[in-house]
Chains A and B, each alone.
Chain A
Amino acid sequence: MKPVRTAALSILAATTLGLSSHASAGTTLDAVMKKGYVQCGVSDGLPGFSFTDAQGNYKGIDVDVCRAVAAAVFGDASKVRFTPLTAKERFTALQSGEVDVLSRNTTWTSSRDSGMGLHFAGVTYYDGQGFLVNKKLGVKSAKELDGAAVCIQAGTTTELNLADYFRSSGMKYTPITYDKSDETIVALEAGRCDVLTSDQSQLYAQRIKLANPEDYVVLPEVISKEPLGPLVRQGDDEWFNIVRWTLFALLNAEEAGISSANVEKEAASSTNPDVRRLLGADGDYGKDLKVSKDWVVNMVKQVGNYGEMFERNVGMGSELKIARGQNALWNAGGLQYAPPVR
């Protein structure tokens, strides 16, 4: 009897100790510094945004955002670990603290920004929901989709937009919902559904997974606004600022013409005051963010500016070949606009 009683007592003691410990919860930045890496939630496989190549390396624009955050915090873009998350698990994973930042083609909406205890740090990609159909069907517009069977990924805003769109257009549809985006594309190819709906960027990404991508076409209609961006937990402004200004710095770098190729030269010899402030040559704007003075230099040198990230992962330098469009800088006719560093 004795060893058991001791065990029970010690469990009790441990529990009581544990009870008193949660009052002293530190900030995310402290925790990140302590463990030495940023834990980043990404997609479980979406070419261009986050996916693993045959060697198991993570790639994509969402992945690069995380690398940039790591470069800002540690000066080393490799100090990041990735957690692949399904659409279902992503929010709880962030809420519960399993990941420090969620960068997983997630749409910014009011309910996610408020009731779920999350904060969107900005927009990495302005997207909109579209439709992918087989050319054989002869469909030219989404307005002709009455009665169609629609493949869709579970637990996304697309699911809600789809219902709204068909209802407001007075059309009927059959939703076929899968857990993973890979299954939606397999089902489309098998003919289980007539049309696949998702954010347009994802449609392009998914299309290259088809055996004959040329047989499928993305319809012109965009039925929703889908601003995609990284999220952090509410109530930690310090960490929120770091992620948000990482995005802004990437945009500002592109706007100022600073790229991974010339960032070191610019940091040493630029005379443009905007550039000098951004790169930490004048003043220390990193200090208030609690990052190093040369955080933007590290970031751009190791990951590139926003334009480089875009072209490399989803733009013309990738298999997806998506045009900049809305994602061009504001002074090039797009929506990407960052407040100045000063």
Chain B
Amino acid sequence: MSTTHHFKPSLPPPAMSVGAIGWLRANLFSSPFNTLLTLASIWLLWLTLPPVLNWALFDATWSGSSRSDCSAGGACWVFIQSRFSQFMYGFYPAELRWRVDLTVILAIIGAAPLFFRAMPKKWVYGVGYLLVYPWLAFWLLYGGPGLDVVETSQWGGLMLTLVIAVVGIAGAMPIGILLALGRRSEMPAIRVICVTFIEFWRGVPLITVLFMSSVMLPLFLPEQVSIDKLLRALIAVTLFEAAYIAEVVRGGLQAIPKGQYEAGRALGLGYWRLMGLVILPQALKLVIPGIVNTFIALFKDTSLVIIIGLFDLFNSIHQATVDPAWLGFSTEGYVFAAAVYWIFCFGMSRYSMHLERRLHTGHKR
């Protein structure tokens, strides 16, 4: 005789463990200690958030033309508004600013195909772009045949920040890769030279490097040679970043299994072809997130050029805060500067994480 067992229908879960209440219980009030922490955090938020929001948004003044318009008690965004173009372009002549805009637009349009995964011959296109665009950008920004020359002393604001950051990273990449290869070279002399170079730049603060480039570089060179102040800063930033890039790339080189080297050798490839065709393409792909992180650090470091008197974004804002007509609005200035840097850095760090996830899948089994 067989009996059939009928399962009783499941009871609904207790009301306290599902839905909003369940979530709250699990995530905020799971233990007395957690409850205490939650309450303390809420109290902290209650203390800080309303005044900050009131200051930045609700009590702020958004339009006007002078400091007398700012009487609401909150932030005075009029200050930012009235100086906005200077924060973006520095003293770049107003009638020529289309050239800066065009440079940025061309950069975006030109680089866009590189971000599509399905793009055919991406590699060829990328190299071509890297070879052509810098000249075009230099011609547009500085001038030359057909365009009025705009001295670099007139460059400033966000534009200068971007120029320093982009030139810095672009210049640092090839040098950094060579240094990384040198550091892993089998020739002791090359290794020693590269290690010394890398450790020297990584051991000193950028501020002293910039200072050296600004006041000492001309003493190192023959008298007739005079290098533009911006160019000197760019050289300093490039050498400095190259050392950091070298360490990032070294990480990638170390991650490539020995079998790859041996296989390449067995095929009869010489050193440069082995590196260029087998090892580096794999290693560089591995370290793209690391390179983006280095770029973020570099982007933040560009604010140090204030020390040598270049008018980048931060210095432009800093200068504006001591303008007698707008004295006392330094908080607005710093908040704005912080927001701009934050947007760029946060955006890039998200992109780097996205890349990390995307590139990671290839190695997971």
Do A and B come from the same complex?
yes
Binding site for B on A (CB under 8 A): 1, 3-4, 18, 21-22, 25-26, 31, 39, 44-45, 52, 54-56, 81-86, 89, 92-93, 95-98, 179, 182, 185-186, 189, 208-211
Residue of A nearest to B216 (CB): A92
* B187 smallest CB distance to A (angstroms): 12
Interface string of B304-324 (1 = CB under 8 A from A): 000111000000000100101
Contact check, A18 vs B216: say whether CB atoms are below 8 A apart.
no
Contact check, B322 vs A185: say whether CB atoms are below 8 A apart.
yes
* Complex Cα spacing A318 to B309, Å: 26
Chain A residues contacting B324 (CB-CB under 8 Å) are: 208-210
Question: In this assembly, does B226 line the interface, its C-beta being within 8 Å of a C-beta of chain A?
Answer: yes
Q: With A83-B229, A96-B215, A97-B218 in contact, is A26–B224 under 8 Å at CB?
A: yes
Contact check, B229 vs A22: say whether CB atoms are below 8 A apart.
no
* A295 smallest CB distance to B (angstroms): 25
Task: List, sorted by A's number, 21 A–B pairs whose CB atoms are closer than 8 Å.
Answer: A18-B222, A21-B222, A39-B226, A55-B91, A56-B90, A81-B153, A83-B153, A83-B229, A86-B308, A89-B214, A92-B215, A92-B219, A93-B218, A96-B218, A97-B218, A97-B226, A179-B307, A182-B322, A185-B322, A209-B322, A210-B327
Chain A residues contacting B90 (CB-CB under 8 Å) are: 56
| Interchain CB contact (< 8 A) of A89 among B153, B309, B322 | B309
Q: With A81-B151, A185-B322, A186-B322 in contact, is A98–B222 under 8 Å at CB?
A: no
Question: In this assembly, does B63 line the interface, its C-beta being within 8 Å of a C-beta of chain A?
Answer: no
* Complex Cα spacing A21 to B221, Å: 11
* Complex Cα spacing A209 to B321, Å: 11
Chain B residues contacting A18 (CB-CB under 8 Å) are: 222
* B193 smallest CB distance to A (angstroms): 12
Question: In this assembly, does B95 line the interface, its C-beta being within 8 Å of a C-beta of chain A?
Answer: no
* Complex Cα spacing A25 to B223, Å: 6
Q: With A25-B224, A89-B215 in contact, is A209–B319 under 8 Å at CB?
A: no
Contact check, B309 vs A44: say whether CB atoms are below 8 A apart.
yes
Report which residue of A4, A85, A97, A209 has the largest number of chain B beta carbons within 10 angstroms of its beta carbon: A97
Contact check, A89 vs B226: say whether CB atoms are below 8 A apart.
no
Binding site for A on B (CB under 8 A): 86, 90-91, 151, 153-154, 211, 214-219, 222-224, 226, 229, 270-272, 307-309, 319, 322, 324, 327-328, 330
Contact check, A56 vs B223: say whether CB atoms are below 8 A apart.
no
Contact check, A1 vs B309: say whether CB atoms are below 8 A apart.
no
Contact check, A95 vs B224: say whether CB atoms are below 8 A apart.
no
Given A1-B270, A81-B151, A182-B322, 8 extra CB contacts under 8 A? A25-B222, A45-B322, A81-B153, A89-B214, A89-B215, A93-B215, A97-B218, A98-B229
| Interchain CB contact (< 8 A) of B271 among A1, A22, A25, A83 | A1
* Complex Cα spacing A208 to B216, Å: 35
Chain A residues contacting B322 (CB-CB under 8 Å) are: 45, 182, 185-186, 209
Chain B residues contacting A186 (CB-CB under 8 Å) are: 322, 330
Chain A residues contacting B91 (CB-CB under 8 Å) are: 52, 55-56
Contact check, A211 vs B327: say whether CB atoms are below 8 A apart.
yes
Residue of A nearest to B156 (CB): A56
Residue of B nearest to A86 (CB): B309
Chain A residues contacting B327 (CB-CB under 8 Å) are: 189, 209-211
Residue of B nearest to A84 (CB): B309
Q: With A182-B322, A209-B324 in contact, is A97–B223 under 8 Å at CB?
A: yes
Chain A residues contacting B229 (CB-CB under 8 Å) are: 83, 98
Chain B residues contacting A211 (CB-CB under 8 Å) are: 327-328
Residue of A nearest to B214 (CB): A89
* A259 smallest CB distance to B (angstroms): 30
* Complex Cα spacing A54 to B308, Å: 21
* A25 smallest CB distance to B (angstroms): 4
Chain B residues contacting A85 (CB-CB under 8 Å) are: 309
Chain A residues contacting B223 (CB-CB under 8 Å) are: 22, 25, 97
* A135 smallest CB distance to B (angstroms): 18
Residue of B nearest to A211 (CB): B327
Residue of A nearest to B222 (CB): A22
Which 4 residue pairs spanning A and B have beta carbons closest together? A56-B91, A96-B218, A92-B215, A22-B222
* B233 smallest CB distance to A (angstroms): 12
Chain B residues contacting A21 (CB-CB under 8 Å) are: 222, 224
Residue of A nearest to B321 (CB): A186
Chain A residues contacting B309 (CB-CB under 8 Å) are: 44, 84-86, 89
* Complex Cα spacing A3 to B309, Å: 40
